[in-house]
Amino acid sequence: MRKKELFDWLKALLVAFGIAFIIRMFIFSPIIVDGPSMLPTLHDRDQIIVNKFIYHLNEPKRFDIVIFHASEQKDFIKRVIGLPGEHVMMKENTLYIDGEEVEEKFTKKNNIHTDDFTLELLPGHFESIPDGYVLVLGDNRTNSTDSRRLGLIPIDQIVGKATFIYWPFERIQIVKE
């Protein structure tokens, strides 16, 4: 009887580890925010859950906060601003998409300043964002390495969407735009 009980426990543990591995690899993953580029939305050392599966079902949406491979060694976390087919411009601290003013609630209420730019002046010198790419910016525009420096981000380099801050305890919340 003892051997069967031990075998049942071992089987249950292996199944649990297998399920946890699949969830961690393909569905959700924890990451730690590194740096101030997403202040005030995300703070340095915030621990968040990333939904890695969502972009297998849907395309990124404007103002999603995404994690992407900036290089082989480094992942960045930024906010999607421009989508395929769009022209993006920032003038006098106002975002324009295809010539229309777009309100950025997360920057206005926190008095964040963004230097003027147009899509044509960014690396790649595009007139509109090509299919398969997005333009990303950090919320803390004065201290962010983003599309203004990196260029447009291939959608297939996006790891997932930031969904939930779980640490520190006083900042537990769902990540919103």
First to last CA, the chain: 56
Instruction: For residue 166, give the amino acid letter.
Output: Y
Q: Is 144 a catalytic residue?
A: no
Tokens 């022209």 sit on residue: 87
Closest CA to 34 of 61, 90, 74, 69: 74
Give the Cα separation of 97 and 40 in Å (integer): 23
Task: Give the contacts of 20 (CB within 8 A, at least 6 positions apart).
Answer: none
Give the active site residue among 37, 52, 144, 161.
37
Tokens 């906060």 sit on residue: 65
Give the active site residue among 78, 144, 147, 161.
78
Q: Is 78 a catalytic residue?
A: yes
Residue numbers annotated as active site: 37, 78
